[in-house]
Amino acid sequence: MSADNVTSPPGRSGPARSRPALIPIVDPNIDPDQIAAQAPTAVRSVGFIVGIGHRLAASADWLRAAVADFVELPLERRLQHLATAANDWLGYAPPASEALAASQGRTRPGDLRQTWTWRPGDPRNPWPHPGADLRSAADAFAAAALELFDARILPVLSLILGGPAGWLADYHGTPEPVCRANHYPPVREQALRGQMRAPAHRGHGPATMVVPDAPGLQVRVDRRWIPVPWAPDTALVNLGSELERLAGDLDLQPVTSTEHRVIPPDHPWLGGDHTSLVCFWKGAPDTLVDVRPGGQPTTSRGGIQAQPARRCADQRRPPADPRPAAAAARRRFHRCP
């Protein structure tokens, strides 16, 4: 499908000039090696892939309907399932209670969204009771999304990095993904200055898949915000800073984690009720994602491991071939307590 067949929202200061060639559009149902060969340079430099024609529609529609039912509940009932530090921020976050810009060190008004976050299979998910439909729909969507990661996304990214199709999954071990439903309520008033549905940010983990039901996502390329192509059956994949850093540390093909945002609507059709579904693919908590010589490795969980110099002083940059590099890096660092 060409970029002419997708829809892009207008910019905040007038219609945006689309540069669709920057963001590759692929068929997610073809072989991973074919996808990786279509636009490897664009993927490495922009950090986004747009897949049109995915097979997530049924589970995505079911989950959006369940989320719509949940957000219709009175606020006091929704707040009974509030995401807190005690449950690892799983559960519900009310409108404008989050400011994603804070993760980038910026001060902005609360984001124009409310969210439900869950980790598949985690008993700390505070599912509402009765709330079997939300839980069942969320489980179905997560299963379908992870199947797409295993069958297409991870093999494609492995090939783009310069390794064999199974390398990325092998390196990261048993994954611990986190999923989220971003519900964007209708916007009936002018947004505050600097207020977005999701302000500018970069992904932190290896990769994130987004299944939006409307345009509005923009990516920053060469200091310009450009719209990400969209169609009703679109799934977007963006690369995170963890993968960018790992590629550099292991001398793989370089990739970029690109800043992106979801703009507030300035078009009547975009001002309605929308729900974007997200799956953050994360590796095993002890996956090493910073393997620079002489440095303190950072795990996928995000903590810095203090390394005794007497046991880790001989760290060297792994060889360029990602297969022995991954195994060697994991063995070397996992010997360090």
Quote the DSSP letter at residue 172.
H
Please indicate, yes or no, whether residues 126 and 240 belong to a single structural domain of this protein. yes
Nearest of 288, 233, 224 to residue 1 by alpha carbon: 233
Q: Helix 132-148 and helix 57-71: axis angle, to 10°?
A: 150
Please indicate, yes or no, whether residues 174 and 230 belong to a single structural domain of this protein. yes
pLDDT of residue 41: 80
Q: What is d(CA 22, CA 34) in angstroms, rounded to the nearest whole number?
A: 18
For residue 227, what is the enclosing H or E element? strand 224-227
Please indicate, yes or no, whether residues 240 and 308 belong to a single structural domain of this protein. no
pLDDT of residue 202: 79
Please indicate, yes or no, whether residues 256 and 295 belong to a single structural domain of this protein. no
Please indicate, yes or no, whether residues 320 and 187 belong to a single structural domain of this protein. no
Please indicate, yes or no, whether residues 158 and 306 belong to a single structural domain of this protein. no
Quote the DSSP letter at residue 298.
B
pLDDT of residue 24: 86
Quote the DSSP letter at residue 289.
-
pLDDT of residue 12: 33
Domain that holds residue 187: 3-281
How would you list the strands of the sheet with 217-221, edge to edge?
A: 198-201, 260-262, 217-221, 224-227
Please indicate, yes or no, whether residues 184 and 205 belong to a single structural domain of this protein. yes
pLDDT of residue 283: 85
Please indicate, yes or no, whether residues 272 and 175 belong to a single structural domain of this protein. yes
Task: Please list the pLDDT of the chain residue by residue as tens digits (337 residues).
Answer: 333 333 433 333 333 333 444 788 889 889 999 998 887 887 888 888 899 888 899 999 999 999 999 999 999 999 999 999 888 999 999 987 776 655 556 666 677 889 999 999 999 999 997 667 999 999 999 999 999 999 999 999 999 999 899 999 998 888 889 999 999 887 766 666 667 677 677 778 889 999 998 888 888 888 888 888 888 889 999 998 888 888 887 888 888 888 888 877 665 445 578 899 999 998 888 887 766 666 666 776 653 232 222 222 223 233 344 434 444 443 333 322 2
Give me the helices (H) in the chain, please.
32-38, 40-46, 57-71, 75-78, 132-148, 154-161, 167-172, 241-249, 309-312, 322-334
Q: What is d(CA 232, CA 224) in angstroms, rounded to the nearest whole number?
A: 25
Please indicate, yes or no, whether residues 218 and 335 belong to a single structural domain of this protein. no
Nearest of 150, 168, 148 to residue 159 by alpha carbon: 168
Q: Which of 281, 301, 326 is the last residue of a domain?
A: 281
CATH, residue 164: 2.60.120.330
Task: Report residue 92 as tokens.
Answer: 């519900």
Please indicate, yes or no, whether residues 310 and 194 belong to a single structural domain of this protein. no
pLDDT of residue 222: 83
Please indicate, yes or no, whether residues 12 and 129 belong to a single structural domain of this protein. yes
The count of domains in the chain is 2
Please indicate, yes or no, whether residues 245 and 306 belong to a single structural domain of this protein. no
